[in-house]
Amino acid sequence: MENDSCYIVDCSNENSSLFAELRDELIKNGYVKVKCENLPDGDCDKACLNTIAAVGGVCCPYDDDSESFIWPVKVLELDSPESHLQASQLDRELVLHTDCSYEHDAPHFVALYVVQCDRSERGGKFQMVRTQEIIDKLSPETKRLLRDETYKINVPPDFRKGN
């Protein structure tokens, strides 16, 4: 993605014109990078949620808990056969994957925030690709199949809500 500018949000000062600019950038480019500074009480979660609300976003819970807006991606325990945590909370390697939504009414945007860079030996990689760039590479037949056929998607257990 061409645009790699980062907007600074001073969390101690509400700036409606900046939030309008962030919203415009998000709609225009499909993503926006924001760095939050002067966090009230140093609360990163609150700053992230407040910024989302200020640009007009609505936070969606990631599981059945209506307050589960932030999915922690950090090692909470070592990987073992007995572990019941998600892969993002174990010390196993996370292979290249798509952060996507399996919701019936999928959100239009996803907010990701980094509290600390990956400190592993090889470090983490993060890549964003516009959906249109992928669509442009598909053949007409593939586009037709994706548009006209019905597919069953096996949703990983970590991403299932309710029934």
Tokens of 81: 């056969």
Q: What is the CA radius of gyration of the chain?
A: 18
Please list, in sequence order, all residues whose beta carbon lies within 8 angstroms of the beta carbon of residue 83, skipping any fewer than 6 positions away: 77, 90
- Signed CA dihedral, 117, 58, 56, 16: sign only: negative
The pLDDT value given to residue 132:
86
Do 110 and 99 touch, CB atoms closer than 8 A?
yes
The pLDDT value given to residue 76:
62
Reduced to 3 states (helix: H, G, I; strand: E, B; else coil), residue 69 is coil
The pLDDT value given to residue 20:
93
Do 91 and 78 touch, CB atoms closer than 8 A?
yes
Written as tens digits, the pLDDT of the chain (163 aa) is: 455 678 899 988 888 999 999 999 888 888 888 888 998 888 888 888 888 889 988 887 776 777 777 766 665 656 566 666 666 666 666 655 566 666 777 777 777 777 666 666 666 666 777 788 899 999 999 999 999 999 887 777 766 666 5
The pLDDT value given to residue 31:
83
Taking the C-alpha atoms of residue 16 and residue 66, their distance in angstroms, rounded to an integer, is: 28
The pLDDT value given to residue 106:
72
The pLDDT value given to residue 19:
93
> How many other CB atoms sit within 10 Å of the CB of residue 163?
3
Taking the C-alpha atoms of residue 19 and residue 8, their distance in angstroms, rounded to an integer, is: 11
Alpha-carbon torsion angle 93, 99, 103, 106, nearest 10: 170
